[in-house]
Amino acid sequence: MGEIADRLREVRRRISEAAHRVGRNPDEIRLVAVSKTKPIGLIREAIDAGVTALGENYVQELVSKREAIGDPVEWHFIGHLQTNKVRQIVPFCSLIHGVDSLKLAGEIDRRAGMIGRRQAVLIEVNLAGEASKFGVGEDEAGDLAKAIAVLPNLRLAGLMTMPPYPEDPEESRPYFVRLRELQERLRQGGIPPERCSELSMGMTADYEIAIEEGATIVRVGTAIFGSRDDTATVHA
């Protein structure tokens, strides 16, 4: 077995331990392997080792990798989606993690409707208010969720967040707690529970903490594929 298989096994072990620490069933947690910047060969290795969902954050890269690999896995879009690129991914994308405006949601709804699909989406919430990141503010999430919940070709599935990069994983915990509390408020505010059951939170630096705080989806790249030279990469 190769290095990827070993790393994947380690990540799964840690997911399991984190879940057990807080009395959760590890099967409730989906692992999205973030393959951005990584070549097809390594991605195939990961699929052979048991990865079932891949996450990409550039539309072109997602589309070309999916053309090469097909659908033995789910494809998740985890980046910032521009409205003019929606039509390229809606035909095959299992989950769009980063919806942060009604305009974008409307375009996804329109494109999904044209091809008879119902597209699952998450609302991205920018909890720290970082200018460098996308996402709606905590106070706007409720209105956006209500507006999205009535779009016929969208299926709102929950919330996603990406806190400031932590020096210490514990620094992320308060943000994960806040996303879970926001989910609770949305439910109390009338969003049906099945419309906000997913919490996509936690990356290599902090996925164990995210699981302790209720993540149902973790997005892990480096711990599976090794480090990225993000600066030198040309996106396919």
Q: Does residue 220 bind ligand PLP (CB under 6 A)?
A: yes
Strands (DSSP E) found in the chain: 30-34, 53-56, 74-77, 95-99, 119-125, 154-161, 198-200, 217-220
Q: Which residue is nearest to ligand PLP (CB)?
A: 221
The four Cα atoms 30, 165, 108, 122 give a dihedral, to 10 degrees, of 40
Taking a C-beta distance cutoff of 8 angstroms, is the pair 157, 120 a contact?
Answer: yes
**Of 122, 196, 203, 209, the one binding ligand PLP by CB under 6 A:** 203
| Region binding ligand PLP by CB under 6 A among candidate stretches 41-49, 151-159, 176-184, 219-227 | 219-227
Angle between helices 40-48 and 59-69 (to 10 degrees): 60
Picking from 201, 200, 183, the residue whose alpha carbon sits closest to that of residue 142 is 183
Picking from 32, 10, 28, 78, the residue whose alpha carbon sits closest to that of residue 212 is 28
Smaller CB distance to ligand PLP: residue 142 or 221?
221
Q: Does residue 157 bind ligand PLP (CB under 6 A)?
A: no
Question: Residue 196 has what DSSP assignment?
Answer: S
Q: How many residues sit close enough to ligand PLP to count as binding (CB under 6 A)?
A: 12
Q: Does residue 209 bind ligand PLP (CB under 6 A)?
A: no
| Region binding ligand PLP by CB under 6 A among candidate stretches 111-119, 131-139, 178-186, 197-205 | 197-205
Smaller CB distance to ligand PLP: residue 57 or 172?
57
Smaller CB distance to ligand PLP: residue 151 or 162?
162
Q: Does residue 76 bind ligand PLP (CB under 6 A)?
A: no
The four Cα atoms 164, 9, 76, 36 give a dihedral, to 10 degrees, of 70
Q: Does residue 222 bind ligand PLP (CB under 6 A)?
A: yes
Smaller CB distance to ligand PLP: residue 187 or 228?
228
Q: Which of residues 32-61 bind ligand PLP (CB under 6 A)?
A: 34, 36, 57
Q: What are phi and psi of 195, to 5 degrees?
A: -85, -10
Q: Does residue 73 bind ligand PLP (CB under 6 A)?
A: no
Q: Does residue 135 bind ligand PLP (CB under 6 A)?
A: no
Determine which helix (DSSP H) or strand (DSSP E) holds 67, and give its type and residue range: helix 59-69
C-alpha R_g of the chain: 17
Smaller CB distance to ligand PLP: residue 60 or 222?
222
Interface residues with ligand PLP (CB under 6 A) are 34, 36, 57, 78, 162, 203-205, 219-222
